[in-house]
């Protein structure tokens, strides 16, 4: 009898490979980013259907400002268009949006769009979709420490954790990176301490439902010990049979 895979509560994804996807097709890089939006829409729907509660994606890092100016401006315009087009459907599908990252450097138009999208989906409960935009893991730790210091609160592991930009959700169970690269790239540095890591050679626009299912199956087969031994895990869950 087949056993259903254990579905992660929280999946985080580094959506890598949009530009290479476009280049291989002799298209401008922005065409790859547009295709990446379609892939994100498909992935969010698939996560909700499979019972994933939280999906966090790395959309634009704080280092991405160093890319060519035309690509950066195109990404900003794409974000504005995507918000206008996607938010009504996300609201209908029960997806709650959070945009995680530094907003001070964004234009008023983009900041207003992010706030409006969050407000429009605030009542949804089927899936939490965190879009990390102008985000960096080091920035997140630094802003959390600065916030605690400004309030005169002691900086401890627990207080720092509560001041993080993703404090509204549990830490990721599974982190997926597409595009064949095997690094974290300043993504959720604090939160991935005990996450399972999965690297896919597929470029993000090609990451479909079957690729998601493969990642979940690999995750399901792993033993998560959180610093304990296998024997301790087995004794705590006597009904679990080791494969």
112 included as an active-site residue: no
CATH number of the domain at 125, please: 3.40.1180.10
pLDDT in tens, 152-188: 999 999 999 999 999 999 999 999 999 999 999 999 9
Annotated catalytic residue within 64, 93, 124, 206: 64
User: Residue 152 belongs to what domain range?
Assistant: 10-222
Establish if 1 belongs to a structural domain.
no
Write down the catalytic residue from 16, 140, 171, 173: 16
User: Is 64 noted as a catalytic residue in this protein?
Assistant: yes
36 appears as a binding residue in the annotation: no
How many domains in the chain?
1
Mean pLDDT of 55-70: 79
Question: Is the residue at 133 inside a domain?
Answer: yes
142 or 113, which is more confident: 142
Query: 35-39, 108-112, 186-190, 209-213 — which is least confidently predicted?
Result: 108-112
3-state secondary structure 102-143: CCCCCCHHHHHHHHHHHHHCCCCCCEEEEEEEEECHHHHHHH
29 is in an annotated binding site: yes
Is position 228 within any domain? no
CA distances from 69 to 66, 82, 110, 214 (A): 8, 20, 17, 36
The response to whether 184 counts as a known ligand-binding position is: yes
Residue 137 counted as an annotated binding residue? no
φ, ψ (nearest 5 deg) of residue 228 = -90, 175
Is there a domain that residue 122 lies in? yes
Whole-model pTM? 0.88
Name residue 55's beta-bridge partners.
11, 129
């Amino acid at each position: 009898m087949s056993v259903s895979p254990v579905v992660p509560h929280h999946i985080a994804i580094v959506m890598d490979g949009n530009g290479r996807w476009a280049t291989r097709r002799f298209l401008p890089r922005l065409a790859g980013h547009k295709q990446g939006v379609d892939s994100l829409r498909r992935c969010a729907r698939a996560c909700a259907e499979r019972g994933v509660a939280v999906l966090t994606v790395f959309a634009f890092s704080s280092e991405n400002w160093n890319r060519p100016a035309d690509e950066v401006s195109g990404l900003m315009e794409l974000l504005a268009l995507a918000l206008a087009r996607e938010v009504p459907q996300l609201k209908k599908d029960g997806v709650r949006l959070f945009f995680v990252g530094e907003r001070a450097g964004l234009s008023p138009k983009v900041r207003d769009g992010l706030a409006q999208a969050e407000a429009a989906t605030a009542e949804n409960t089927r899936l939490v979709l965190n879009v990390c935009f102008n985000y960096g893991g080091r920035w997140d730790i630094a802003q959390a420490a600065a916030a605690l210091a400004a309030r005169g609160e002691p900086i401890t592991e627990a207080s720092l954790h509560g001041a993080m930009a993703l404090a509204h959700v549990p830490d990721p169970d599974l982190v997926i990176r597409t595009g064949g690269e095997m690094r974290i790239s300043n993504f959720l540095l604090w939160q991935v301490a005990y996450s399972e890591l999965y690297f896919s050679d597929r470029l993000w626009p090609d990451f479909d439902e079957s690729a998601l299912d493969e990642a979940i199956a690999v995750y399901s087969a792993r033993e998560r010990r959180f610093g304990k031994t296998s024997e301790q895990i087995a004794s705590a869950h006597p009904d679990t049979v080791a494969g």
